[in-house]
Amino acid sequence: MPSTTINPTRQELTRLKNRLRTSVRGHKLLKDKRDELMKQFMDVVRENRALRKRVEEGLMRAHGAFTVAAALMSPEMLEQSLLYPKQSVELDMTFQNIMSVDVPQYQFRTSSQDPGEVYPYAFAQTSGELDDAVDALSRVLSDMLRLAEVEKTSQLLAEEIEKTRRRVNALEYVKIPEMQANIKYITMKLDENERANTIRLMKVKDMILKEAIEEKRAETARAVETFGGEAPQSV
């Protein structure tokens, strides 16, 4: 439905046609962006499922081993064994741009590259199950960080997909049809005005022609009257 406040002029028609061309191009670009975002999102979701399964399995192994260790060791000895860690972990966060979406990327590094530093205790007074629990946790750490990264990425992509979808729908179902209706309305009004002007010009032409004919007839009548009333001259 055309806007009631639109000004039906040729300048407005040109402006609307330019806006329509821009909107159509923007609509296509947004649809392409939405489709690519959906592809990226599905890839992230698949990776998320695989990572979650690995992390849950690793945490279950660590929990099971820790439960057995807790049953074999006294609470004081267990707490003392894990109280002072030997190795520290530093986490760095950077961002990657995916279709105008900045998604986080996590990288971690340990203070020591020695695999034995992951155990913060002496082996003489601890159980092998505690070693298994600590080892399982150290192995699952990278997957846990990657899982956090992937889940945040999927959340950000889902939000961007929804925003892009709303913009595509607004252009497709509101803005573009409204501009097309306005262009049709202005074109119709301009055609009506052109036909009305043509009719007025024809009427004016007919009036001028009629006046010219009547004036010519009047001149002819006066000439006949003038020449017809004169007395004939003798030779």
pLDDT(231) > 50: no
How far is it, in rounded angstroms, from Cα 215 to Cα 233? 30
Identify the CA nearest to 89 among candidates 48, 137, 153, 127: 137
In this prediction, residue 65 carries a pLDDT of 87
Angstrom distance (rounded) from CA 197 to CA 204:
10
Q: Residue 112: its pLDDT value, please?
A: 66
- High-pLDDT (> 90) share of the chain, %: 42
> What is the distance between the alpha carbons of residues 84 and 119, in angstroms, rounded to a whole number?
10
Mean pLDDT, all residues of the chain:
85
Across 26-30, 112-116, 147-151, 177-181, least confident range = 112-116
- Domain boundary assignment for the chain: 10-182
What pLDDT score does 23 carry? 95
Q: Which of 13-22, 75-84, 98-107 has the highest mean pLDDT?
A: 13-22
Read off the pTM. 0.71
235 has a pLDDT exceeding 80: no
> Which architecture characterizes domain 10-182 according to CATH?
Orthogonal Bundle (1.10)
Read off the tokens for 93. 């966060």
* Six-digit token string for 74: 């006294």
Query: Quick one: CA torsion of 199, 201, 205, 207, rounded to 10 degrees?
Result: 70
Three-class SS of residue 160? helix
**Alpha helices of the chain — where are they, by DSSP H?**
10-72, 75-82, 128-170, 176-228
Q: Are 104 and 95 in contact (CB under 8 A)?
A: yes
Residue matched to tokens 């950000």: 156
The pLDDT of residue 138 is above 50 = yes
SS3 125: coil
Place of tokens 């340990």: 110
